[in-house]
Amino acid sequence: MGVAMTGVVIPSFVVAPLLVMIFAITLHWLPGGGWNGGALKFMILPMVALSLAYIASIARITRGSMIEVLHSNFIRTARAKGLPMRRIILRHALKPALLPVLSYMGASFRGHYHRLNGH
């Protein structure tokens, strides 16, 4: 939870120079600036810097929802039947846990779309 909270709290104008220092200057994996005809490698660092807070919010909601579902009665029943935890999570807990996540993502994408298109 600490990493997700850090991702939510730190603004993108602080994250962006850190990403450039790590991935462009130190590791030389990505370009640190410029634009070369729309090549994807020039878009990766800005996209990550701008989407980090959104991804961290989704991670926090997913974690909270999964914890809530894993404490429900139908999961206790599955555990009592002796099902492996992996199967319980994948078959029984994941679908109900993703409902709040998808609701949040839908509302967020709608908000971003309307801001971009001026509606």
Print burial letters for 33-44: b (CB count within 10 Å at least 16), e (below 16).
Answer: eeeeeeeeebee
Question: Looking at residue 1, what is its pLDDT?
Answer: 64
Q: How confident is the model at residue 106 (pLDDT cuts 50, 70, 90)?
A: confident
- pLDDT, tens only, 52-101: 989 999 999 999 999 999 999 999 999 999 999 999 999 999 999 999 99
Instruction: Output helix, strand, coil percentages for the chain, rounded to the nearest 5.
Output: 80, 0, 20
pLDDT surpassing 60 at residue 119: no
d(CA 63, CA 66): 5
- pLDDT, tens only, 2-26: 777 888 888 989 999 999 999 999 9
d(CA 9, CA 77): 38
- pLDDT, tens only, 35-55: 877 788 888 999 999 999 899
**Three-state DSSP class for residue 81:** coil
Question: Looking at residue 116, what is its pLDDT?
Answer: 64
Among 48, 43, 57, which Cα is nearest to 100's? 57
DSSP 8-state symbol, 62: H
Tokens of 90: 């994948």
Question: Looking at residue 100, what is its pLDDT?
Answer: 94
